[in-house]
Amino acid sequence: MISCSLILTQELRRLRTAAAPDDSCALRRPANHVSNPPGEFQLIERLLKRLGPGRRAILGPGDDCAILPAARARQLLTIDSMVEDVHFKLAWGTPEALGARALTVNLSDIAAMGGAPRFCLVSLALPDWANRKWTGAFYRGLLKLADETGTSLAGGDLSRSEKLVCDVMVCGSVPAGKAIRRDGARPGDVVHISGPLGGWRHRPTITPRLDLGRKLRGKATSAIDLSDGLSLDLHRLCVASGVSAALDRVPLLDGATERQALHDGEDYELLYTAPPGLRVPGERIGVITKGRPGAVEYRGKPMPILGYDHFRNRR
């Protein structure tokens, strides 16, 4: 972890210097501003080339979870941040709902790999306004979902911050050889999603699809959870698998537009592929094709990749 943090710090410092030497906030500005910093996807790609998979990892950074060897199974490791005014607004919900959401976004990654959660670590940085009552309610929401999903809270950290920041790390497990990765889609596979889409505006609550993920073991050839929008997450899956995709439909949540379903983030449904003719749960939305890796068509036309990018989008 130390070497990862060091490389990340050095990379961010170098990019800030290169982007705008007189403005340390350049990375938070949209792409059409004076500076033109690399997007989140480009930054991750650059970091992955430097980090590599790690000596003991079966699968390193770049998928929904890392995979580590264990005695009878494989360990799945994932971590996600929630930052006030970046990932959420306080006005969006109760502290209980926020606590549940902080865990859900990580459980969704475990679900995408076909795994079961085992334990979590929670690091919380609290502003001055967050009193004991608020903090207690946050943990109540988190622990309720942890109990329901068999996830033990193994530890964590508390500190102060101007904005609320919550980092949750989840460790899960999956039988050896059964993890569903992003890189297994093949031309001819059918593309499915676990439910209708519409993005965070139309989805007040999110549910980790753990039961579905387990059912897809040995059936799905690839999977990813939809955190940053269908167009961007399908693009990522296609890049990892070296394939392209053609979509013909997308089911909509009530009140959502087609554009929101294609590009808005934080649906946390699963997107997965399966061989043609194999019955799997969910809704068929298209097929995997042989073409430029990462290219996606929607109803016969190239689809722009417009999902959420932390360094180019602002809500």
- Give the residue among 166, 182, 174 at the shortest CA–CA distance from 106: 166
Q: Does 225 bind Mg ion (CB under 5 A)?
A: yes
The per-residue DSSP string of 37-106 comes to PPPHHHHHHHHHHHH-S-SS-SB-BTBSSEEEE-SSEEEEEEEEEEEBTTTB-GGGS-HHHHHHHHHHHH
**Binding piece for Mg ion, criterion CB under 5 A, among 53-61, 129-137, 174-182, 224-232:** 224-232
User: Closest approach of Cβ 233 to Mg ion, in Å?
Assistant: 8
**Binding piece for Mg ion, criterion CB under 5 A, among 194-202, 227-235, 253-261, 262-270:** 227-235
Segments in 116-257 forming alpha helices (H): 132-149, 210-215, 230-241
- CB nearer Mg ion, residue 225 or residue 309: 225
**Binding piece for Mg ion, criterion CB under 5 A, among 11-19, 107-115, 159-167, 205-213:** 107-115
User: Closest approach of Cβ 113 to Mg ion, in Å?
Assistant: 9
User: Closest approach of Cβ 12 to Mg ion, in Å?
Assistant: 21
Whole-number Cα distances in Å, 135 to 99, 141, 302, 313? 9, 10, 46, 29
- CB nearer Mg ion, residue 121 or residue 130: 121
Contacting residues for 302 by C-beta, under 8 A, at least 6 apart: 295, 296
- CB nearer Mg ion, residue 40 or residue 64: 64
d(CA 234, CA 226): 8
User: Closest approach of Cβ 106 to Mg ion, in Å?
Assistant: 9
Amino acid at 144: K
**Binding piece for Mg ion, criterion CB under 5 A, among 43-51, 141-149, 226-234, 270-278:** 226-234
d(CA 201, CA 5): 33
Amino acid at 127: P
| 256 close to 199: Cβ distance less than 8 angstroms | yes
- CB nearer Mg ion, residue 96 or residue 267: 267
- CB nearer Mg ion, residue 112 or residue 246: 112
- CB nearer Mg ion, residue 109 or residue 269: 109
Q: Does 233 bind Mg ion (CB under 5 A)?
A: no
> Applying CB under 5 A, what is the total number of residues that bind Mg ion?
4
- CB nearer Mg ion, residue 181 or residue 202: 181
The residue sitting closest to Mg ion, measured at its beta carbon, is 64
Residues between 28 and 87 with contacts to Mg ion, criterion CB under 5 A: 64
Q: In what order do the strands lie in the sheet with 301-302?
A: 222-225, 270-274, 190-193, 283-289, 244-247, 296-298, 301-302
- Give the residue among 24, 134, 199, 48 at the shortest CA–CA distance from 57: 48
Sign of the dihedral through C-alpha 194, 200, 205, 209: positive
User: Closest approach of Cβ 302 to Mg ion, in Å?
Assistant: 24
Q: Does 269 bind Mg ion (CB under 5 A)?
A: no
The SS3 of residue 116 is strand
User: Closest approach of Cβ 78 to Mg ion, in Å?
Assistant: 8
- CB nearer Mg ion, residue 26 or residue 66: 66
**Binding piece for Mg ion, criterion CB under 5 A, among 19-27, 106-114, 279-287, 292-300:** 106-114
Query: Judged by CB under 5 A, which of 109, 167, 264, 269 binds Mg ion?
Result: 109
∠ Cα 314 163 138 (to 5°)? 105
Residues that bind Mg ion (CB under 5 A): 64, 109, 225, 227
